[in-house]
Structure 1
Amino acid sequence: MAALRSILYFLVFYPGTVLYCIATLIAARFGSGPVRRVIHAWASFHHQLVTHLLGIRFEMEGEIPDGPVLVAFKHQAMVETVETLLLVKTPVVVMKQEYVDLPLLGPTMKSFGVIGVNREAGASALREMMQRGKQAIAEGRPVVIFPEGTRVPVGETPPLRPGFAGLYRALGLPVVPVAHDGGKIWPKGLVKYPGVIRLKIGETIPAGLKRDEIERRVHRAINALEA
């Protein structure tokens, strides 16, 4: 049954995403407000498929504040990358440049406001990330980052990527860490399983800490559900 539900999810979600991408590009002609409404509708569409078709529920402990903050998510699955758009109010999301370069989806993401990171570019990529992050602050938007840099298997707690500390220092924002256990029922591959994804919003960490301190505190907070 889980396999059948997963196949139906993919058959509905991806064609639907194409339609939302087209709608976003049309909305971009009328300004950022319509674009954000379409993207939010897309995230809600995905949420409905996840909850009603795949049988996955979300339980959240704590609350993510509005306004300019740096939200650091544990990265175990694709599901939290979309849910982020509902959990955080109009975020600017830091993601791999390869996703931003995808046809149709890439221009859609750019119109909403994402920060693509090309790891091969080194220092120039970090400067671009910081510049776009400061622009987000000027617009009163939070910035979302997955500080591990890539999807992490359940139970693994790798060190944070250097770009996180650089962005934290450059933006001067408090950090809201988010732990979750979505990888247990949303593994790589086709089949997704019904169940509950827990999200734990950690205590807000102030701006201005030294690198080793901020990395230690964020690492511990985003891995709070790994024990």
Structure 2
Amino acid sequence: MSAIRSLLFFLLFYPGTLIYVLTVILVSPFGTPPVRKVVHGWSDFHHWLVRHVLGIRFEWDGEIPGGPFLIAVKHQAMVETVEALRFARTPVVVMKRELTTMPLFGWVTLRYGSIGVHREAGAQALREMMAKGKEAVSEGRPVVIFPEGTRVPVGESPPLRPGFAGLYRALGLPVVPVAHDSGKLWPRGLVKQPGTIHFKVGETIPPGLKRDDVEARVHQAINALN
């Protein structure tokens, strides 16, 4: 049954995503608000499919505050990257550059305001990320980052990538850490399992801490359910 559900999700989500992408392109000349509305509609579409086709529920311990925060999220699966558009208010999402260079979809991510980072580009990539992050803050938008830098298997907790500390220092924002256990139901490959994904919002971490201190606190908080 899980395999059938997963196949149906695949057959609905990806063609549906193409429709939303084309719709963003069509409404883009009319300004940013319609673009955001369509992108948020896409994330709602994804959420509905996850809930009603895959049979996955979401349970939250804590609430993410509104306004400009640096939201640091554990990364175990695709599901939390799309859910971020729902649990944060019009966020700017830091993602790997490959996603922002995909045909059509990549253009939409940039039009929405996402930040593509080339992880091997070093200091130049960090400067670009900080500049776009500051632009987001000036608009009152939160910035979502996956500070471990890549998707990691359940049970693993690699050190944070340098980009997190640089962005934390440059933006001067409090950090809201978010832990979850999505990888238990959403492994690599086609088949996803029904059940409940638990999210835990950690204590807000103030700006201005030393790098070792903030990294240690964020690392512990995002791995609270690992």
* Same-fold status (TM-score > 0.5): yes
**Structure 2 unaligned blocks of 5 or more:** none
2:216 alignment partner in structure 1: 216
RMSD: 0.5
CA distance in 2: counterparts of 1:35 and 1:190, whole angstroms:
30
Amino acid at match of 1:199: F
2:178 alignment partner in structure 1: 178
Give secondary structure in 1 for the equivalent of 2:120. helix
1:145 alignment partner in structure 2: 145
Amino acid at match of 2:100: V
Contact kept in structure 2, 1:69 and 1:175, CA below 8 Å: yes
TM norm structure 2: 0.99
1:45 alignment partner in structure 2: 45
1:81 alignment partner in structure 2: 81
Structure 1 moving runs of 4+ over 6 Å: none
1:36 alignment partner in structure 2: 36
CA distance in 2: counterparts of 1:44 and 1:156, whole angstroms:
29
CA distance in 1: counterparts of 2:18 and 2:157, whole angstroms:
34
CA distance in 1: counterparts of 2:30 and 2:143, whole angstroms:
24
Contact kept in structure 2, 1:57 and 1:196, CA below 8 Å: yes
Give the CA deviation at 1:162.
Answer: 0.6
Q: What is the total number of aligned residue pairs between the two structures?
A: 226
Overall identity of the aligned pairs, in %: 68
Q: Does residue 198 of structure 1 match 2:201? A: no
Contact kept in structure 2, 1:55 and 1:194, CA below 8 Å: yes
Give the CA deviation at 1:25.
Answer: 1.1
Give secondary structure in 1 for the equivalent of 2:176. strand
Q: Does residue 115 of structure 1 match 2:115? A: yes
CA distance in 2: counterparts of 1:71 and 1:9, whole angstroms:
28
Amino acid at match of 1:51: R
2:14 alignment partner in structure 1: 14
**What are the Cα deviations for residues 183-214 of structure 1, in whole angstroms up to 9, with x where unaligned?**
00000000000000000000100000000000
Give secondary structure in 2 for the equivalent of 1:196. strand
TM norm structure 1: 0.99
Amino acid at match of 2:119: R
CA distance in 2: counterparts of 1:42 and 1:149, whole angstroms:
24
Contact kept in structure 2, 1:25 and 1:111, CA below 8 Å: no
1:168 alignment partner in structure 2: 168
209-218 or 21-30, larger mean C-alpha shift: 21-30
Contact kept in structure 2, 1:75 and 1:150, CA below 8 Å: yes
Give the CA deviation at 1:12.
Answer: 0.4
2:106 alignment partner in structure 1: 106
Q: Does residue 155 of structure 1 match 2:155? A: yes
Give the CA deviation at 1:28.
Answer: 1.2
Contact kept in structure 2, 1:76 and 1:151, CA below 8 Å: yes
CA distance in 2: counterparts of 1:3 and 1:174, whole angstroms:
41
Give the CA deviation at 1:119.
Answer: 1.6
Amino acid at match of 1:85: L
